[in-house]
Amino acid sequence: MAENGTDYFFIIASGTAILLLLVTFIIAFLFIHQKKYFEHQKRISQLNAKYQEETMKAQMEMQEKTLEYVGRELHDNIGQILSLIKLNLNNPEPEQIADSKSLVSNAIKDLRALSHRMNLNWATDISLHDFIESESKKIGNIGNFKVVYQSNGSLTIENNEDKVVLFRIIQECINNILKHADAKEIKFLVEEEQHLTILDNGKGFNLEEVEKGSGIVNLKNRAHLIGAELKIGSEIGVGTQIDIFLPQT
């Protein structure tokens, strides 16, 4: 009987110990998971803050560019037209008055165009296709480059802020080509859905050396922020290829 009692004690004690261990395991698991959950939440909010910061930075840069453009337009274009009108009105012959009227019309037209450019919500009205086309035209107008834009697929970004970031990425790529590539031909290709390729036949660069700098890292980070992937390939003497894979909608 005594042996039986010891056995009972052993069984009940070990059973209780196992169940207590189980409860401890569940509580510990709950704590570990909650810790991981809060760390994850913290990481997400940090990423969100960084994204907001990058978006703000991109918007500020765009505003600066716009203001720079407005200042240049006012100084070089409208200012020049007004000076001409002033000169004409010093000697108000019918011919000069007609000329001045035409100049005033031109100034009004230019101011309207300028006002349209100053509208900060322009990103909502413009599609990615139109943006790339307009950038191609701008580069083409410089006259030193052959610019090709071929589109066989669509590029879509629903979020307006993401769109602005992508515009900024494309402009940054163009700036880099204009500044450093020494290229004769620039191609913008959309050969499949949500995939944009920017190609140039410039002098190329050593990717390993350049990747250490912040320019490419920034471009990749910006792409990452909007859920896109940016890949760069370059060969010295051949040119550079930038592939931007946008998130599937």
Partner 1 sequence: MNLDQKLFFIVEMDIVRAIYYYILSIAAVLSIFNRPKDRSILLLQIYIISIFIIEVSALVAIYLGGYNNVWIYNLWVIIQFPFLTKIIFSQFKSKHKYLEKLCLVVFTTLPVCNFLFWQGINTLNTLTMQIGAVYMVILVLFYFRSLLDTPEKSIIRNPYFYIGTALLIFYVGTVLYYTFLNFFIKSDLITYTQISYILLLINWVTYSLFILAILLDSNNKRNKYLLKSG
Q: Which stretch binds partner 1 (CB under 8 A): 10-18, 107-115, 119-127, 175-183?
A: 10-18
Judged by CB under 8 A, does residue 8 bind partner 1?
yes
Choice from 26, 47, 97, 148 touching partner 1 (CB under 8 A): 26
Judged by CB under 8 A, does residue 4 bind partner 1?
yes
Judged by CB under 8 A, does residue 32 bind partner 1?
yes
Query: 40-79 mask for partner 1 (x: CB under 8 A)?
Result: x---------------------------------------
Judged by CB under 8 A, does residue 28 bind partner 1?
no
Q: Which is nearer to partner 1, 8 or 69 (CB)?
A: 8
Query: 112-141 mask for partner 1 (x: CB under 8 A)?
Result: ------------------------------
Judged by CB under 8 A, does residue 20 bind partner 1?
no
Burial (0-12, 13-18, 19+ Cβ within 10 Å), 220: middle
Query: String of b and e for 33-71 (b: at least 16 CB within 10 Å)?
Result: eeeeeeeeeeeeeeeeeebeebbeebbeebeeebeeeee
Judged by CB under 8 A, does residue 29 bind partner 1?
yes
Q: Which stretch binds partner 1 (CB under 8 A): 35-43, 65-73, 187-195, 208-216?
A: 35-43
Judged by CB under 8 A, does residue 37 bind partner 1?
yes
Q: Which is nearer to partner 1, 19 or 49 (CB)?
A: 19
Choice from 6, 9, 39, 150 touching partner 1 (CB under 8 A): 39
Judged by CB under 8 A, does residue 33 bind partner 1?
yes
Give the residues lining the site for partner 1 (CB under 8 A): 4, 7-8, 11, 15, 18-19, 22-23, 26, 29-30, 32-34, 36-37, 39-40
